[in-house]
């Protein structure tokens, strides 16, 4: 214990010297205590070195807030971002606003769309989450349903792995499905898990297992071709059917929620919403339901983010931080901010 304290005491002058040398203790930063910066980043010693180098290069930016994702997600990854934001906040004296990752996937749709009508339904489909959310305004959410096991993106990724494709699997499956084939017919139709249940929940792990068995069967089942082109055709056929099975379930459940809650806006967000075929089929379903459905869906605004803002990006956190600017945390209260792997968008 004594030895540890002695060791810490010795560290302070060394650190102060290092910060002085790295020009971190200039006039505008006299209130910054180097030891405090080190404590903020004690879980990330490597990041500490990088941040010191980074701060040396940049002057305090003209920013009102730093938005940081504090959940949901993998806690160690969340902490890296949270601690990095805390260090910047502390050093530059800029308050932080914590944001929810799922909400960020929704609110990125507000860029350029300020006239959103409520109630709205949001379908969030990412690598870790598949959720249907009822939205009565910004900050007013109710989770109607979610996946009971694998998320849609996770299913794309795992199925891609079975087919020997690279990660992330979603774009790979989409790329193959686009090639289309009539030369290879699958022996088995893949299941659409929970497509007809009355709730708004999803389950994709059964689909992945079905893909595994069907793939093994097709590989072993006597349909042997020595031509690698045929093997490519088989992958294309699988990719097309996997993508369609996922889209079918998402479409059915989402439009059920839209009808049940008489939604005026439908948001789709998260990495899987980058899928062009999914976008096309959602658009088509909107038109079809609007013209001949017994409960016309129009006027319903269907909003997708631009493709490059569907997958994780910093702008979505910034937009969400802007909407929640009243929840900002001052530099003196940084200890209150924690990562939360299970952060929920509503109770």
Residues that bind Zn ion (CB under 5 A): 126, 312
The torsion angles phi and psi of 266, rounded to 5 degrees, stand at: -120, 120
**C-beta separation of 318 from 117 below 8 A:** no
Spatial CB neighbours of 252, under 8 Å, sequence gap ≥ 6 = 192, 195, 196
Binding-residue pattern over the window 222 to 261 for ligand KG4, x denoting contact by CB under 6 A: ----------------------------------------
Spatial CB neighbours of 334, under 8 Å, sequence gap ≥ 6 = 40, 86, 89, 90, 96
Binding ligand KG4 by CB under 6 A: which of 34, 98, 270, 305? 270
Closest of 75, 85, 78, 4 to residue 37, by C-alpha: 85
The minimum distance between CB 127 and ligand KG4, in angstroms, equals 3
Contact region for ligand KG4 (CB under 6 A) — 41-49, 55-63, 272-280, 325-333? 272-280
Given Zn ion, ligand KG4, none, residue 157, with its beta carbon under 5 to 8 Å by kind, binds: ligand KG4
**Minimum CB distance to ligand KG4 smaller for 73 or for 95:** 73
What's the CA gap between 68 and 84, in Å, rounded?
Answer: 9
H-only helix segments in the chain: 2-21, 34-40, 45-57, 75-92, 101-107, 152-162, 169-179, 205-220, 228-260, 276-292, 314-323
Given Zn ion, ligand KG4, none, residue 119, with its beta carbon under 5 to 8 Å by kind, binds: none
The minimum distance between CB 313 and ligand KG4, in angstroms, equals 8
Site for ligand KG4 in 93-152 (CB under 6 A): 126-128
Q: Decide if residue 191 touches ligand KG4 (CB under 6 A).
A: no
What's the CA gap between 102 and 89, in Å, rounded?
Answer: 23
Q: Decide if residue 71 touches ligand KG4 (CB under 6 A).
A: no
The residues of the shown chain that bind ligand KG4, judged by CB under 6 A, are 126-128, 153-154, 156-157, 168-171, 174, 270-272, 274-275, 311-312
């Amino acid at each position: 214990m004594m030895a540890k304290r002695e060791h810490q005491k010795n560290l302070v002058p060394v650190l102060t010297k290092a910060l002085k040398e790295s020009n971190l203790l200039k006039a505008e930063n006299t209130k910054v205590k180097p030891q405090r910066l080190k404590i903020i980043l004690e879980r990330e010693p490597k990041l500490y070195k990088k941040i010191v180098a980074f701060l040396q290069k940049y002057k305090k930016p003209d920013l009102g807030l730093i938005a940081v994702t504090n959940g949901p997600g993998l806690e160690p990854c969340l902490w890296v971002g949270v601690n990095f934001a805390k260090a910047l906040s502390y050093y530059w004296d800029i308050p932080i606003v914590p944001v929810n990752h799922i909400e960020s996937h929704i609110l990125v749709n507000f860029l350029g769309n300020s006239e959103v009508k409520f109630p709205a339904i949001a379908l969030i489909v990412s690598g870790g989450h598949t959720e249907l959310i009822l939205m009565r305004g910004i900050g007013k959410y109710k989770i109607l349903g979610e996946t009971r096991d694998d998320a849609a993106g996770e299913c794309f990724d795992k199925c891609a792995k079975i087919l020997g494709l690279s990660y992330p699997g979603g774009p790979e499956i989409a790329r193959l499905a686009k090639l289309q084939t009539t030369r290879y017919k699958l022996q088995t139709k893949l299941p659409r898990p929970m497509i007809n249940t009355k709730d708004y929940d999803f389950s994709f792990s059964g689909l992945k297992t079905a893909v595994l068995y069907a793939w093994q069967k097709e590989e072993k089942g006597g349909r042997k071709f020595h031509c690698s082109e045929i093997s490519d055709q088989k992958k294309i056929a699988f990719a097309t059917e996997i993508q369609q099975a996922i889209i079918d379930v998402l479409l059915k459940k989402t439009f059920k929620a839209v009808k049940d809650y008489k939604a005026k806006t439908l948001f789709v967000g998260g990495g899987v919403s980058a899928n062009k075929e999914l976008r096309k089929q959602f658009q088509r379903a909107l038109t079809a339901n609007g013209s001949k459905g017994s409960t016309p869906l129009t006027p319903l605004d269907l909003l997708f983010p631009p493709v490059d803002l569907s997958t994780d990006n910093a702008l979505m956190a910034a937009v969400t931080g802007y909407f929640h600017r009243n929840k900002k945390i001052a530099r003196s209260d940084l200890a209150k901010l924690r990562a939360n792997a299970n952060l929920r968008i509503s109770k």
